[in-house]
Amino acid sequence: MRPIDPIEFAKGPTVGGSARVSEAVARALRARRNHGAARPHDPAPSRTAYRMNRLWLTPSFRFFLRRIAPVLAVTACVGLWFASEANRTGFMERVATIKSEIQNRPEFMVKLMAIDGATGPLAEEIRTIVAQDFPVSSFELDLPEKLAEIESLDAVQSARLHIRAGGILQVDVTERSPAVIWRSAQGLEMLDAEGRRVSALESRLDRPDLPLIAGVGAERDVAEALAILRASGPLLPRLRGLVRVGERRWNLVLDRDQQVLLPETDPLGALAQVVALDQSRDLLNRDVITVDMRRPNRPTLQLTDAAREEMRRLRSVKLGVTN
């Protein structure tokens, strides 16, 4: 059926019709047709879409969504899972089990300890102070602590601790070499060339090869004492030891109860004078008790009682002859 054209429908009045009625009908039909027609499409975005597009163009917003938001989401999930005490306990037990299985593998076990560079008594002392039961996992060994304990021993100058192939705890020790014996109020002690304690000594006869020093403060000037001993030269076979006097100078003690009193300054030069006098005039083989070199420009000799009596006798004889 062909649609009705309002223009044609609203033509002039026909017989028996009315012009006003025809125009009204035409306007109603036209309005109905215009109302049913589709409106044109608007290409502009909606307000919400525009705001979202602008927000997405912001660098900070994109960084938040791409980097921070996933981390927050994962953290929230983990936090919710660990909020349960049962989950936390099970997780810690599982971690402990895995850790124990790894640490106790055969390749990580230490089976024994080897000590190189130490004498028998020192090696036994090191084994005692380490006090470790083997086998043990290398993860359970506190090597810095063990090394500090070993280096705390007086006889150890330095030490090195490491685990070598085969599950062996290797201890390399540099032992202090005793240079002198120091006699103090506490007894006999061996000292190295720097004056550091090596070990105690029961008897002087245990180390007759070492020189003896004594006196308060002698342990602090071992280097000077060794220099005096080296300068003694021909006197060494008769030397019994060195005595520190007033913590400032040395006395050289010889056999036959003889002493050489050295000055506070330049003791080596004064000792060289004594050695020269002994070699030229056989000074120390005479009846001399003390050679006082505290004033090197005026050496003083103290004679034995027998020598003094002999001198008095000779003087009296001389006086008698003169009279």
Show pLDDT as tens, one digit a residue, over the chain (323 residues): 555 555 555 555 554 455 655 676 667 667 666 655 555 666 667 888 888 888 888 888 889 988 999 999 999 999 999 999 999 999 999 998 998 888 888 888 898 999 998 888 899 999 988 888 888 888 888 899 999 999 999 999 999 999 988 889 999 999 999 999 999 988 999 999 999 999 899 999 999 999 999 999 999 999 999 999 999 989 999 999 999 999 999 999 999 889 999 999 999 999 999 999 999 988 898 889 999 999 989 989 998 888 888 888 877 776 665 55
Q: Looking at the chain, which residues constitute the CATH 3.40.50.11690 domain(s)?
A: 180-318
Bridge partners of 41, per DSSP, are none
CATH fold for domain 106-175: Ubiquitin-like (UB roll) (3.10.20)
Report pLDDT for 39: 58
Report pLDDT for 295: 92
Report pLDDT for 316: 77
Indicate the CATH number for domain 180-318: 3.40.50.11690
Four-point Cα dihedral 209, 213, 219, 222, nearest 10:
-70
146-152's contacts with Cβ under 8 Å and 24+ in sequence apart are 150/126
Report pLDDT for 307: 81
Cβ-based neighbour number of residue 110 at 10 Å: 20
Q: Looking at the chain, which residues constitute the CATH 3.10.20.310 domain(s)?
A: 106-175
Report pLDDT for 207: 92
Per residue in 228-246, pLDDT tens?
A: 999 998 999 999 999 999 9
Q: Where are the alpha helices (DSSP H) in the chain?
A: 6-9, 19-36, 47-56, 59-63, 69-82, 85-103, 120-130, 143-151, 222-232, 267-281, 305-322
Per residue in 127-162, pLDDT tens?
A: 988 888 888 888 888 899 999 999 999 999 999 999
Report pLDDT for 305: 82
Q: Indicate if the alpha-carbon torsion angle 216, 222, 223, 226 is positive or negative.
A: positive
Coil vs helix vs strand at 177: coil
Cα-based angle 146, 129, 151 (whole degrees, multiple of 5):
55
Phi and psi for 115 in degrees, rounded to 5?
Answer: -120, 125
Say how far apart CA 266 and CA 245 lie, in whole Å. Answer: 15
